[in-house]
Amino acid sequence: MTQIRSVVLGCGSYLPEQVVTNAQLAARIDTSDEWIVQRTGIRERHIAAEGEFTSHLAIKAAQAALRDAGVDAQSIELIVLATSTPDNTFPATAVAVQHGLGINHGAAFDLQAVCSGFVFALATADNFLRTGAYKRALVIGAETFSRILDWNDRGTCVLFGDGAGAVVLEAQEQPGNAATDRGIVTTHLRSDGRHKAKLFVDGGPSSTQTVGHLRMEGREVFKHAVGMITDVIVDAFKATGLNADGIDWFVPHQANKRIIDASAHKLHIAPEKVVLTVDRHGNTSAASIPLALSVARRDGRIKKGDMVLLEAMGGGFTWGSALVRW
């Protein structure tokens, strides 16, 4: 029996021009390149310029994805933008992106699941496309985390960067075989609000009437991360009958190289299948997976027909996985 799948037509990304290295941070706070690399794998990150907003990054990533897909912006009926750093409290940053692309039809909205945002947004758009509500969608992850960092807190400010990535999805009829169909094969989303205090921003319109700064209990996040990540990946394998041997590329959320390595090892995914960009981008939250996808697509690693495994975990806690046949 045939089945409608959300097929990736193209992907694109954008990084701000300004690069901040570990050495530059070490000149400002009590840290060092060795300390940061040893604990995180991060060597540098991109920081948005003054007056450069999340919407600006998202628009450029979306334009790159549209070019890669070879489709016109006017064919887009749905925009789902994953971000924790919107331009404004409201309206949704997605409508600024919609306007920036010259689109005035369809629907555009933001989705907030922190670092898991892109996976949550992908699953949301997929469900809209599979029901027939829309034919073609833009799914974007875009962040300017530099705006919510406490630059005197060496435990957090060294970890994050700014950027945006996007994919174009199209509803297409497929044969109905999870092992061979192109498109999004399965998604699995989870959350547990008991862990809020381990990773949060200490501000907000309703609570403090301020933006606030990111706060994190790094050891606690690390302790939970590997188990939660592998949990939803095992769910994806169970749902499809696939296993690590059937995965061509593992594209995890780029938060910490040690978490990525431990997750891949636990899942028996070979290191050469893992796409790593955390050294160059830092943790770009909802933007990290589409940024990594774009890098691996441009350099020729990810090819049509490849099975790609995505996973992420973020504040909340939220976590999720997706299996996508390119």
253 an active-site residue?
yes
Residues 6+ positions from 154 with CB-CB distance below 8 Å: 29, 30, 31
Residue 266 phi/psi, 5-degree rounding, is -65, -30
Tokens for 99? 């306007």
Report the SS3 class of residue 76: coil
In angstroms, the CA 284 to CA 159 distance is: 9
Residue 157 phi/psi, 5-degree rounding, is -65, -25
Q: Taking Cα atoms as reference points, which of 83, 257, 84, 101 lies closest to residue 168?
A: 101
22 an active-site residue?
no
Amino acid at 1: M
In angstroms, the CA 253 to CA 294 distance is: 13
Q: Catalytic one among 115, 157, 188, 213?
A: 115
177 touches 205 (CB < 8 A): no
Residues 6+ positions from 185 with CB-CB distance below 8 Å: 5, 178, 240, 323, 324, 325
Tokens for 61? 């990533």
Amino acid at 194: R
Residues 6+ positions from 179 with CB-CB distance below 8 Å: 240, 241, 242, 246
229 touches 221 (CB < 8 A): no
195 an active-site residue?
no
Tokens for 199? 């990773």
Give alpha helix (H) positions in the chain: 22-26, 33-40, 54-69, 93-100, 117-131, 154-157, 218-240, 257-267, 278-281, 288-298
Residue 232 phi/psi, 5-degree rounding, is -75, -20
Q: Catalytic one among 56, 195, 256, 283?
A: 283
Q: Catalytic one among 11, 253, 256, 281?
A: 253
Q: Which residues are the active-site residues?
A: 115, 253, 283
